[in-house]
């Protein structure tokens, strides 16, 4: 199987306080407790990501004790890269435990003087500017580069025509239906479909009050789309022969 590239962010593993209040309450995630939440997100992740895949984590990975952050990071599949978020305090204070040979992350973009460094890898010949926070402008935007982020948890409505996507688990779960199994990373080809939709007809991410067009019909042939991305089962393998089947 061909190597795949995935994107995710704002998992908030282990996030709850002494009163038992945390990410489940703040973002209305469909879990009864943080243990169920964490183990489900881990299972969702490992069920689709293989050992040789690349995964870019766009911040706010975990808010728990160092040993638990290590446990979670070590059992997640793939070659992992981390762009730090504002809640990644444990990893920031213990960077040597998390990055380098035989460590969970191949590299970590660090925070200096409250400025978040960002990553600009070329993936499948496409420049993608990644940061935990959303930008209004970014490197080579005028040349159709993409920008992905995660900080807003799917609550930030994008501007018409902007080639920018919130890849947080909350944002992706909105399009998949909001069930427990929907909190998972997004693959490059899925991201490409969303960007194509934005470019072709002005689709606005996270716009409230209307049905999500990604759930309606195939943008290639107008047939019913059986996946959360706007393509039917007939067109999907023609364009992306190596794409996974999305339930």
Q: For residue 171, what are the contacts with CB-CB under 8 A and spacing of at least 6?
A: 150, 152, 153, 154, 165, 205, 206
247 found inside a domain: no
39 found inside a domain: yes
Q: Among 49-58, 134-143, 155-164, whose mean pLDDT is lowest?
A: 155-164
CATH of the domain at 23: 3.60.21.10
Q: What is the 3-state secondary structure (H, E, C) of the chain?
A: CCCCEEEECCCCECCECCCCCEHHHHCCCCCCCHHHHHHHHHHHHHHHCCCCCEEEECCCCECCCHHHHHHHHHHCCCEEEEECCCCCHHHHHCHHHCECCCCCEEEEECEECCEECCECCEECCEEEEECCCCCCCCCCHHHCCEEEECCCCCCCCCCCCCCEEECCHHHHHHHHCCCHHHCCCEEHHHHHHHHHHHHHHCCCCCCCCCCCHHHCECCCCCCECCCCCCCCCCCHHHHCCCCCCCC
28 found inside a domain: yes
- How many folded domains does the chain comprise? 1
Q: Among 30-44, 113-127, 165-179, whose mean pLDDT is lowest?
A: 113-127
In whole angstroms, give the CA distance from residue 151 to residue 168.
7
More confident call, 187 vs 212: 187
Q: Is the pLDDT of residue 228 over 90?
A: no
221 found inside a domain: no
What are 225's two structure tokens? 């789309």
Q: Is the pLDDT of residue 225 over 70?
A: no
Confidence of residue 24 (pLDDT cuts 50, 70, 90): very high
Please tell me the predicted confidence (pLDDT) of residue 10. 97
Q: Is the pLDDT of residue 204 over 80?
A: no
More confident call, 208 vs 203: 203
165 found inside a domain: yes
Q: Are 30 and 104 in contact (CB under 8 A)?
A: no
Confidence of residue 124 (pLDDT cuts 50, 70, 90): confident
Domain membership of residue 170 as a residue range:
5-201
69 found inside a domain: yes
**Taking all residues of the chain, what is their mean pLDDT, rounded to a whole number?**
83
Confidence of residue 221 (pLDDT cuts 50, 70, 90): confident
243 found inside a domain: no
Please tell me the predicted confidence (pLDDT) of residue 211. 45
Please tell me the predicted confidence (pLDDT) of residue 54. 95
Q: What is the mean pLDDT of residues 119-123?
A: 74
Please tell me the predicted confidence (pLDDT) of residue 207. 59
Q: Is the pLDDT of residue 212 over 70?
A: no
Highest-scoring range by mean pLDDT, 149-153, 220-224, 225-229, 232-236: 149-153
Q: Is the pLDDT of residue 117 over 70?
A: no
231 found inside a domain: no
What is the reported pTM? 0.81
């Amino acid at each position: 199987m061909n190597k795949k590239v995935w994107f995710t962010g704002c998992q908030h593993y282990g996030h709850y306080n002494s009163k038992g209040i945390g990410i489940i309450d703040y973002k209305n995630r469909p879990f009864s407790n943080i243990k169920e939440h964490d183990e489900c997100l881990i299972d969702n992740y490992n069920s689709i990501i293989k050992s040789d895949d690349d995964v870019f984590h766009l911040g706010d990975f975990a808010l728990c004790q160092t040993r638990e952050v290590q446990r979670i990071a070590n059992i997640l599949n793939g070659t992992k890269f981390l762009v730090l978020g504002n809640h990644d305090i444990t990893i920031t204070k213990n960077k040597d435990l998390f990055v380098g040979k035989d460590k969970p992350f191949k590299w970590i973009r660090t925070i200096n003087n409250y400025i978040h460094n960002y990553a600009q890898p070329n993936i499948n010949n496409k420049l993608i500017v990644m940061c935990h926070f959303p930008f209004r402008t970014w490197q080579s935007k005028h040349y159709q580069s993409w920008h992905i982020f995660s900080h807003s948890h799917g609550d930030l409505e994008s501007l018409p025509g902007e080639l920018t996507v919130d890849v947080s688990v909350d944002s992706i779960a909105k399009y998949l239906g909001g069930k427990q199994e929907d909190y998972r990373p997004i693959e490059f080809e899925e991201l490409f479909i969303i960007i194509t939709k934005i470019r072709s007809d002005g689709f606005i991410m996270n716009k409230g009050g209307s049905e999500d067009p990604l759930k309606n019909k195939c943008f290639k042939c107008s047939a019913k789309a059986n996946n959360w991305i706007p393509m039917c089962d007939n067109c999907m393998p023609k364009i992306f022969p190596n794409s996974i089947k999305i339930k």
